[in-house]
A and B are shown apart, each in its own frame.
Chain A
């Protein structure tokens, strides 16, 4: 146990280092972008047709001061970390003076809700079908289903999403094609609102599930196919153990270890898949926020979102690492 605690402490140190380096790298990369948030704000103003050059010089000075962009990049870096340690992500530059945390946490539940549920559904569906397809290799129905899901995998997500959108939003218009709930919805929590939210999430979730399930299915089918040839499975069959029990207790249980690792990684990286989903389906969340922040040169918001993603992935990997020796005795805590 002492050895395990040393392992956990060492991994925790690595976690902190990864987060520090990741966030630092993001800081410098965002500050190297040619997009200047002050110029962006000025372009908003001058787009209106007000362009007195003397006034624009004054605006530039004021906004630079207001946004806290005076000083060199290293001075800004120190300020950034001193604020971050206190849990303050600072104000958004393109939505000044609104705090970055307020903007992110308004959008985050939508992304997390959709992505976690879609990931879990595709995980359960893909693994269940993969296990069955690997165990009952002669089943024609399972072959057809596998072929269908695997066949969807190479289709770019954007295309698949649009096919679903056209099919169920236009040709057979039974599902809404935009938003998280209907316009002018009463947002007091009610059964009707929950149903409305579910209804609006069906198409984006379906697209994610169809794309995701195929890869889980492929992995699980391969793992199952290998495990069913192991001696202990053959002995179990010869010993008259029922096929359902063999599948559940002998095959799936062993095959799930690497799949669970994959699941943890997927959950840690849920932010990666949000941009296209949110743009295609007009679904609320942090994906659109990220794109807008990049275009507007809003370092603070980009850093906030990236930091969240870095911390999420790092913690997921950390948890996998420290739980793996407990789940699978073959893995040593070294």
Chain B
């Protein structure tokens, strides 16, 4: 008994002693380790590294960021040496005249982390193995595109395509991720690549797996000794010796962790979490140095209409609903003012700012809308300035709000639609609606009912925005209500919605080509009512003029300057037709702590990459990060 008492007392003392020590969260040398939030949280199947199969392993554990690689990257921002860069490819894709063949020249001297050289055989094996195994993620994508693939020498691969495709290379081009190249010498030895977990993954990039939590909370990657023999290494030596991707937990907790300097990069936070960090952290770095701090991702949250459902099939109705939105109020309610607005169908970020947003301004200012009773000019370029002026009155933001018009445009957008209830009413009347008492009635006499589907607690900024928009519609006499759901993509796929807040526009960011999302908007891909809509035309909108634009883009090469003209045509068309009401970029409150590392991307000083660390491109940060302490 006495022995037990002694043991218990000893154990208690040992626990107390260990708690009293410094709260290092790992035994890694902190000055050599960058700790990054994995937004996937706890990974369900932590030992699964076969990224080519949906086996429950994580993607944003560092696996796609630090150990995988493919042919090309387009950074959503400027990149280190330009937004486009050749990674495992030695040059840009080479197409034949009718885009039925693509040739890839590969880099020489690239090695897997186990010392085997990367060659054309790996790429051919990747494509053929995916085609041969329908359980692999890219199987269908490659099966419908590739007729044959072969290596003509150890560093050249030729793809014969089943049909002309001037954007085939996009499958192997990272924006967020892409089809990663498989190590043939590993996978060819396993019985079934679909059931192979790829434990102890070998790497073709500058880091290799050091350790991971069998419970899925953390992953640690270590810089390879031969980092020079990887595409990332060609850009420079990565700074951190170790990169740890961790489950950051709820916003409050990751905010605390960063204040304690235990979490160097937060992937995304709530506006409130970000403002707390701005208030309390002395070592904070953000994309914008001042308000709104966040990184505007190249996606475009919008009010998406189900255009196959009356009365949302009428442009006048869609426009009426747009003119009832007071975007200043929506911005303040959702992002607390920290949004970058867009009135047009392209996110206000990356090259779109100079290629599309700025050049469209004069056209937008002169754009006229016929309400049936009058012609109005609905565009208001002063809205971002008004928001900036409002925020400047708040003492804590006062000094951070720019006055320079260009800076205001970059941070708050170029403009938006001016609320105009009178014109909205006229447009509804033009569409056959009538107001009875305080209630708007449809042409068939039924009350005008709108359900706005919003993503629940997981994307609270949109839930707040949707709630306010529904209120604004309701105040006008429409039976409108926000309808939260955990997953708005499901009803949008099924066409089981009136309107929803989500995005159907995602761009490359660093490149002006619109094909990334626009190709899927062709009318031939629009599902019949009741059938599942393939991504991404959730609005199920079709238009002959749009088809011409898409077919025009398909007929030219990716870097043809005519692509921007087609992009402009698309933007003007969607302003007139308003199939979705564009709202803002998806602003991501990524925050970075400079206690241990400096060199994070920021605007306008050095916007080399998206600071949101689940993007494949975020690997560029490893090159730019430098130790803050000796």
Interface membership of A82, Cβ < 8 A: no
Is B45 part of the contact surface with A, judged by Cβ < 8 Å? yes
Contact, CB under 8 Å: A53 / B520: yes
Complexed CA–CA distance, A206 and B201 (Å): 39
**Which listed residue (A178, A184, A293) contacts B257, Cβ 8 A?**
A178
- A167-215 at interface with B (beta carbon < 8 Å): 169-170, 173-180, 182-185, 187, 195-196, 198-199, 202
Provide the bound-state CA to CA distance between A98 and B46, in Å.
11
Whether A282 pairs with B176 at a CB distance below 8 angstroms is: no
Interface presence of B361 (CB below 8 A): no
Interface of chain B, helix or strand or loop or mixed?
loop
User: In the complex, A185 Cα to B215 Cα: how many Å?
Assistant: 12
Cβ–Cβ contact B195 & A184, under 8 A: no
- The contact string, 1 if C-beta is below 8 Å from chain A, for chain B 383-402, is 00000000000000000000
Given contacts A46-B536, A48-B176, A50-B138, contact A284 B215 (CB under 8 A): yes
Query: Does B213 lie within 8 Å of A183, measured CB to CB?
Result: yes
Q: Smallest distance from the beta carbon of B73 to chain A beta carbons, Å?
A: 13
Check if A174 sits within 8 Å of B256, measured CB to CB. Answer: no
- The answer to whether A95 touches B48, judged by C-beta atoms less than 8 angstroms apart, is yes
Contact, CB under 8 Å: B215 / A170: no
Given contacts A44-B54, A176-B23, A198-B15, contact A187 B134 (CB under 8 A): no
A237 vs B252: C-alpha distance when bound (angstroms): 55
Interface 9-mer from B85-93, B286-294, B466-474, B482-490: B482-490
Tell whether, in the assembled complex, residue A95 and residue B56 are in contact, meaning their CB atoms are under 8 Å apart.
yes
Chain A, residues 37-77, CB within 8 Å of chain B (1/0): the string is: 00101111111111111111111101000100000000000
Q: B319 contacts the other chain (Cβ, under 8 Å)?
A: no
Instruction: Identify the stretch in A102-110, A123-131, A248-256 within 8 Å (CB) of chain B at 4 or more residues.
Output: A102-110
Complex contact A49–B176 (CB within 8 A): yes
Verify if B624 is at the interface (C-beta below 8 Å from A): no
Q: CA separation between A295 and B516, bound complex, in Å? A: 27
CB–CB B56/A98 < 8 A: yes
How many residues of chain A get a CB closer than 8 Å to chain B's CBs? 69
Please, how many angstroms separate the alpha-carbon atoms of A269 and B170 in the complex? 50
Contact indicator A279/B135 (Cβ below 8 Å): no
Contact between B489 and A43 (Cβ–Cβ < 8 Å)?
A: yes
Known: A55-B140, A176-B23. A288 touches B42 (CB 8 A): yes
**Total chain B interface residues with beta-carbon distance under 8 A:** 78
Contact with B along A273-306 (1 / 0, CB 8 A): 0000001111010001100110100000000000
Separation of A177 and B258 alpha carbons in the complex (Å): 12
Q: Answer yes or no: B26 CB below 8 A from chain A CBs.
A: yes
CB of A172, distance to nearest CB on chain B (Å): 11
Q: How far is the CA of A63 from the CA of B533 in the complex (A)?
A: 17
* Chain A residues whose C-beta falls within 8 Å of the C-beta of B247 in the assembled complex: 178-179, 282
Min CB–CB distance A301 → chain B (angstroms): 8
Q: What CA separation (Å) do A57 and B531 show in the bound complex? A: 11
B135–A183 contact, CB under 8 A? no
Separation of A92 and B53 alpha carbons in the complex (Å):
13
Is B217 in contact with A176, judged by CB distance below 8 angstroms?
no
- A199/B18 contact (C-beta < 8 A), A92-B56, A98-B56, A284-B215 known: yes
Check B15 against A195 for contact (C-beta < 8 Å): yes
* Cβ-closest chain A residue relative to B20: A174
Interface residues of B (CB under 8 A from A): 11, 14-15, 18-20, 23-28, 41-42, 44-45, 48, 53-57, 134-135, 137-141, 143-145, 170-171, 175-179, 194-195, 197, 210-211, 213-218, 220, 244, 246-247, 249-250, 252-253, 256-257, 259-260, 486-487, 489-491, 493, 506, 516-517, 519-520, 525, 532, 534-536
Contacts A/B (CB < 8 Å), 16 sampled? A49-B506, A50-B179, A55-B144, A56-B534, A56-B535, A95-B48, A97-B194, A97-B195, A106-B215, A110-B215, A170-B259, A183-B26, A184-B211, A280-B253, A284-B215, A288-B41
Where the two chains meet, the residues of A that have a C-beta atom closer than 8 Å to any C-beta of B are 34-36, 39, 41-60, 62, 66, 92, 94-98, 103, 106-107, 110, 162, 165-166, 169-170, 173-180, 182-185, 187, 195-196, 198-199, 202, 279-282, 284, 288-289, 292-293, 295
State the 3 A-B residue pairs at the shortest beta-carbon distance, nearest first: A95-B56, A53-B534, A183-B26
